[in-house]
A and B are shown apart, each in its own frame.
Chain A
Amino acid sequence: MKRTLFVTAMVMFGATAVLAQSDAIAQRRALMKENGKAAQAIAAMLKGAPFDLATVQASLKTFVNAAQKAPALFPDDSKTGGDTHALPAIWENKADFNAHFAKLGDDATAALATIKDAASLKATMANFFDDCGSCHQTYRAKLN
């Protein structure tokens, strides 16, 4: 009886650990998906869709949110599984990796203050997405 309880407890402990790990992966993938939608909305305006301040600000707040939450979603036990595209380089260069998110957050916060119209949108966002690209360049597995 004691042994059964002990084994069950260990299995549940293991299962929760696995769930927690896959939870981190699922959460960060969800954040990135939100980033993609936010980027889409801004790209549409850069390509000529009517400027809408509320939409722009919502997108930028999405980036700020992702930048704040993401660093904690790469624990040491989340390197594989869950269809993650995270590269081992992340855990070899954690400080630099986190700095990319910090920069994204800073740039998005600054953009919230600067963007008022289509012209300021174009000026500010022309190079904004380099923040995404520069991280994906080193830390995300090349997609098929």
Chain B
Amino acid sequence: MKKLLSVVLLGVALSSALVGWLLSSPRPLYARDDWRAYEEGGDAERGRLVFLVGGCPSCHMTPGQPDPLRLGGGYRLKTPFGSFFPPNISPDERDGIGDWKVVDLANALLAGVSPEGTHYYPALPYTSYRRMTLSDVRDLMAYLRTLSKVSGRAPQHRLAFPFSIRRAVGLWKLIYLGPPGLPPDPSRSETWNRGRYLVEGPGHCAECHSPRDMFGGIIASRRFAGGVTPDGKGKAPNLTQAAKGFAEWSKEDVETALSLGLTPSGDSLGGDMAAEVRNLKQLPEADLQAMAEYIKSLPPIP
């Protein structure tokens, strides 16, 4: 009887492991073998705007030096799960992404899957980037390829068990990763739709400005209702129309905050937002207006 029980338990354990293994499989959006189909046609100038709204330098620029276009990685991002070290994304062939194809960048940003077929941790906010168009990814790659090669690799992440089990991210993705892309809402204006794309996609604003649950996923019902910075030390304010003070801002006030970093009282945004403003202010005025329109439309969540 005992022997039978042991066998049954072993069977259950093995099947669960197999099911877990299968469920957590990395699912790239594009087959690497098809890379030639996606490689050509990227526009580096348009890619620069994707780079700026995407905020790539904030995590990937080499720390301890002022040039945001030196993307050697290695900045220490401390989180409740341990420390992440964003990798080198310069066009260096050995230490960066110099040997990547467009399809590799697409799978990384839109599916959180590496060229080797492993999961990226969602410290890379592919939960937002997933909404980006392939065209924007292709342009971004064209721009990234114009930047300086930086040698040296970032350290490995230092994560506490069980977060160190990379494969488990596959299960996390089943819960927290929505469908790719962002179909426009035909009942809304082109400007609003453009703003929504920029804010929810490459802008990834919700990643800081939303509260998260114990697994590090955004609490969907409280999206944009305010959050903390990854290191837990700073607050990213509520951006919905229930936010005290912020709800009274006009669209122009929001645009001024993004283009000059100034609030209606003349205060200058600091903390982690100061760096974002330095990027966002370089976007076309129409894009900032669109983002402001979308942000002002966020339904109230206290």
Partner of A127, one of B235, B237, B252, B281: B281
Please tell me which stretch of A4-12, A67-75, A108-116, A136-144 contacts chain B, meaning at least 4 of its Cβ atoms lie within 8 angstroms of it.
A136-144
Residues A142 and B234 in contact, CB atoms below 8 Å apart: yes
Interface: B114 (CB within 8 A)? no
Chain A hits for B268, CB < 8 A: 36, 39, 129, 132-133, 136
A142 touches B270 (CB 8 A): yes
Contact A133 B266 (CB under 8 A): no
Docked CA distance A40–B268 (Å): 10
Check A36/B271 contact, CB under 8 A, given A133-B261, A142-B229, A142-B235. no
Determine the residue in chain A with the shortest Cβ distance to B233.
Answer: A142
Cα A142 to Cα B271 with chains together (Å): 6
Contact B265 A36 (CB under 8 A): yes
Give which listed residue, A43, A135, A140, A143, contacts B262 with CB less than 8 A: A43
Interface check A118, CB cutoff 8 A: no
Chain B interface mostly:
loop
- Supposing A133-B274, A136-B268, A140-B270 touch, asked if A47 and B261 sit within 8 A by C-beta, the answer is no
B266 touches A35 (CB 8 A): yes
Q: Roughly how many angstroms separate A46 CA and B261 CA in the complex, as a whole number?
A: 13
- Chain B residues whose C-beta falls within 8 Å of the C-beta of A38 in the assembled complex: 266
Annotate B263-278 by CB proximity to A: 1 below 8 A, 0 otherwise. Answer: 0111111111011011
| 0/1 string, A7-34, CB within 8 A of B gives 1 | 0000000000000000000000000000
Is A120 part of the binding interface, using a Cβ–Cβ cutoff of 8 Å? Answer: no
Determine if B256 is an interface residue (Cβ-Cβ < 8 Å).
yes
* B238-292 interface with A by 8 A CB criterion: 252, 256, 260-262, 264-272, 274-275, 277-278, 281
The smallest beta-carbon distance between B68 and chain A, in angstroms, is 12
The size of the chain A interface, using a CB distance under 8 A, is 24
* Distance of A79 Cα from B262 Cα, bound (Å): 26
Q: Are B260 and A46 in contact (CB under 8 A)?
A: yes
Q: Which residues of B contact A46 (CB under 8 A)?
A: 256, 260
B265 to chain A, nearest CB (A): 6
Closest chain A CB from B277 CB (angstroms): 6
Complex interface: chain B residues within 8 A of A106 (CB):
none
What chain B residues lie within 8 Å of A134 (beta carbons)? 274, 278
Complex interface: chain A residues within 8 A of B274 (CB): 130, 133-134, 136-137
> Chain A residue with minimal CB distance to B229?
A142
Query: Please, which residue of chain B has its CB at the minimum distance from the CB of A36?
Result: B266
6 A-B contacts (beta carbon < 8 Å): A47-B252, A126-B281, A127-B281, A130-B274, A132-B268, A136-B269
B residues at A contact (CB < 8 Å): 229, 233-235, 237, 252, 256, 260-262, 264-272, 274-275, 277-278, 281
Chain A contacts to B: CB under 8 angstroms? 35-41, 43, 46-47, 126-127, 129-130, 132-137, 140, 142-144
Known: A133-B268, A142-B272. 16 other contacts (CB 8 A): A36-B265, A39-B267, A40-B264, A43-B266, A46-B260, A47-B256, A126-B260, A129-B261, A129-B262, A133-B277, A136-B269, A137-B271, A140-B271, A142-B229, A142-B235, A142-B271
Question: What 9 A-B pairs are tightest by C-beta distance, nearest first?
Answer: A136-B270, A132-B268, A36-B266, A40-B266, A142-B234, A133-B274, A137-B274, A39-B266, A142-B271
